[in-house]
Amino acid sequence: MPRPPRPRRSPLRRQLQGLALAAACLVPALAPSTAAAWHDDGHRIVGEIAERRLSKQARAQVRELLADMPSYATLATAATWADQQARGDATFNFVASSHYVNLDRNLSPRELLSLCLEKSGCVATGVAYYAEILRSTRASKAQKAEALRFLAHFIGDAHQPLHTGHASDRGGNDIDGLRMLEYTPAAERTNLHALWDGGFVAITMARAGWDWPRYALELDGRISPAMSGRWGRGSVYDWLEESRLFALANGYLHADGKTPIRKGDSLGEDWYAHNLEVAEQRLQQAGVRLAAVLEEIFG
C-alpha cells in the first residue's frame, strides 16, 4: 500500500505488468468519459465501500434520507448525483467550485479556508458545509438528503490527486492530447485530469471483467482493520494535503517518477502499473472516511 507520499519518493513497485499486458489483449477499446470528477464508477465505488462499512443503524438512517430520490437511493448511486443532476442546474451554481481546490504548497487550515473563500468555495468548504447540514437539528429531511448526496460526492473528489493540482494547468485538464493504452483508441486523445478521474477505474474493470459493485467489493476486501483505523482519523485538510503530495509524486509524472507529463505524451503499461495502487488507495481511503464521517453523525 502506498504511504502518504513525499514529493520525491521512490517509485511504487507492483508486479502487474505481465498480468495487465496479457489481459489487455482480451478487452475491447474504451472511449474516455467526459464526466467530471472521479467518473461515475469511481464515485459509486467510494459510496459502496462506505455503505458496506456502516453500522446497521447508520445505514438505515442513510437509506431513509436517500429514499426521496429512487435513482439515487444508495450511497453508491447518491455519490454520482452531484455530477449527473446538480451540474448544469443553476440552483447549484454556488457549488461549482466545490469539486476541487488548486494547491501549490502545504497550506494551514486557515490559509486553505481563506483561499477557498476567495474562490466562492472549494472542496474543503463543500465537505465541511454539507457535513454541518447533516449535523443540524434545524435542517429539513430534504435538505439533509441533498447534503448527503453532495457530501458523498465531495469526499470522493477530495481524494482524487489532481483535484488538488496546479491552477496553471487546471488540475491537469490542460495537459491534453494524451494517449493511454486502450483508453484512447485510434486517434482519440484525453487529458491528464480525466485519466485520474476515470482511466484507472475503467481500464481495471474492463480487464478484470468487473462491474463497479465487484470492484468495490475487491477494494473493500483489501482494507485491513489497521488501515481503516489509521485512515479513519484526520480531517478534510489532511486528506487534501495527501492528495496534493500524491499529485506531485505521481499525478503529474511519467512512470520514472521524475519526468513531467506534457501535452501530447503517450502513457503506457508502466505508467498504469506504477500509479494504479495510488488510484485504488485513494478510492479505499475515501470510502473509509465517508463511512467514518457518516458513522459519527448517524451511528
Q: Which residues bind Zn ion (CB under 5 A)?
A: 37, 99, 157, 197
Nearest CA-CA partner of 121 in 145, 95, 147: 95
Q: Site for ligand ADE (CB under 6 A): which residue of 165, 198, 251, 287?
A: 165
Report the candidate in 32, 149, 47, 159 with the shortest Cα–Cα distance to residue 89.
Answer: 149
Which residue lies nearer to Zn ion by CB, 191 or 228?
191
As a three-state string, the secondary structure of 172-221 is CCCCCCEEEHHHCCCCCCECHHHHHHHHHHHHHHHHHCCCHHHHHHHHHH
Among the candidate windows 87-95, 111-119, 170-178, 276-284, which touches ligand ADE by CB under 6 A? 170-178
Cα-to-chain-centroid distance, residue 251: 13
Part of the chain binding ligand ADE (CB under 6 A), chosen from 61-69, 166-174, 236-244, 281-289: 166-174
Task: Tell me which of Zn ion, ligand ADE, none is bound by residue 197, counting a contact when its beta carbon lies within the kind-specific cut-off of 5 to 8 angstroms.
Answer: Zn ion
Is residue 196 within 8 A of residue 172, CB to CB? The reply is yes
CA separation for the pair 45, 63 (Å, rounded)? 17
Q: Which residues, 96 to 125, sit near ligand ADE by CB under 6 A? A: 100, 102
- The answer to whether 72 contacts ligand ADE (rule: CB under 6 A) is no
Is 126 a residue that touches ligand ADE (CB under 6 A)?
no
User: Under the criterion CB under 6 A, does residue 272 sit at the interface with ligand ADE?
Assistant: no
Smallest distance, Å, CB 197 to Zn ion?
4
**Is residue 163 a contact point for ligand ADE (CB under 6 A)?**
yes
Report residue 172 as a C-alpha cell: 491537469
Q: In the complex with ligand ADE, which residue's Cβ is closer, 75 or 101? A: 101
In angstroms, rounded to a whole number, what is the distance separating the alpha carbons of residues 102 and 115? Answer: 9
Chain residues binding ligand ADE by CB under 6 A are 100, 102, 163, 165, 167, 170-171, 173
